[in-house]
Structure 1
Amino acid sequence: MPDRLPIRTTAAALVTAALLTGCGTTPAPDAPAAPATPGKTSATAPAVKAAATLGGPGSACALPVSFGLAADWKPAAVKEPADPDFAELVRQGPAVMRCEVDAKPSGNIGFLRVWTAAKGPARTALEGFVTAASRPSAVTYRDTRAGALAAVEVTYTTYSELTDESKEERAFAVSTPKGAVVIVHLGGFDTDEHRAMLPAYELARSTTKAL
């Protein structure tokens, strides 16, 4: 679930488990260096290769885009519940969560989550998504590429009541030919986990294709 207020995040994670359906880096050279967190290391893992593709025919999640998945990352589709109280847990700003890719089988604590917004532009949808996060700060947007697609990427920090510290997050957004905006977000339990999972995020960004 979205990395918002941690109490809400924990509850959201439990709800997501019941809603799951379906079946399955290092910052880019032009990205600003991630700020160090006191007491944390700043090392990131090396780049990884795709072990599967998410979003295409027969994959775990039906999406307007496809991208490569790192080994042992487990995707599952998220169904929006009819109950408004629970539906809010899979919404963040203008976006609705469509897929959740769990990193735990690969040894990290976090998720790569795919969201869609009804219409763009991509930056407007991404700004609304970030504004709705838990106390976002140090927000930086930049134009980039996601595969062959024009994209907007954001790096920022949010505050976690669960760990009582700020943590790094990032996401990229693309507009698709059919009009929907896709947001791919990487959070993590804390900044160390986030940085360890960057290779999987960069893999997704570099291999994104519109369907």
Structure 2
Amino acid sequence: GTFSLVNIDKNEDGSIAERLYVKRAIGFPSETIRFVNGNVQVRPAGFSSYIDEDSFRSDLSLADGPHRSLDTSSYEGIRAWGSLFGYQEAGLDLSASPAYLKSQYASVQGDSYPDDMYAFETAAKRTKHLINPADMQSRSDSAKYQSGIYVPQDSILPLGDNRDNSRDGRYFGPVTQKKINGSVRFRFWPFTSMKYLGDA
């Protein structure tokens, strides 16, 4: 027998089918969004400081945000894992890496994949930059993670409710509001949380 890979995401004419995603609009025009240990922080337009997502939602009487599945104590190990990966990417022998990184990494060593890939990549890019500050590409990559994501006019930053490990706006960036096809009005699952979510 043989196996064939079939791309089912195609229209009848063979063109690529449109994929629809349901995400929360977290960042709005002129806001900057950054992530610290998986927690979202928002810098509203015209402000110089960041507000954590829970306070931001509370101040604006917004719906509750998603629940986190990852304990914040895991982030020390995830950051260490990312830093060690940064050493590898820089072509250095891991035996030359600091002992504290190896010790912190031990807490997540049994994992096959980082629980928060964004935090892992942030640490890896920062480490590569620190190893060689003259490497402009590493400096640019690290700065992109450290400075957060700016949302331009007529755009939003969509984030998934699986905030710990979701391929969302953290990776593909803000999207224009013209690409928004609708809004979620009703939650029907789980049945114990069924309710009307209001007009948007």
Measured against the shorter chain, the TM-score band is under 0.3
- TM normalised by structure 2 equals 0.25
- TM normalised by structure 1 equals 0.24
Structure exhibiting the larger radius of gyration computed from Cα positions: 2
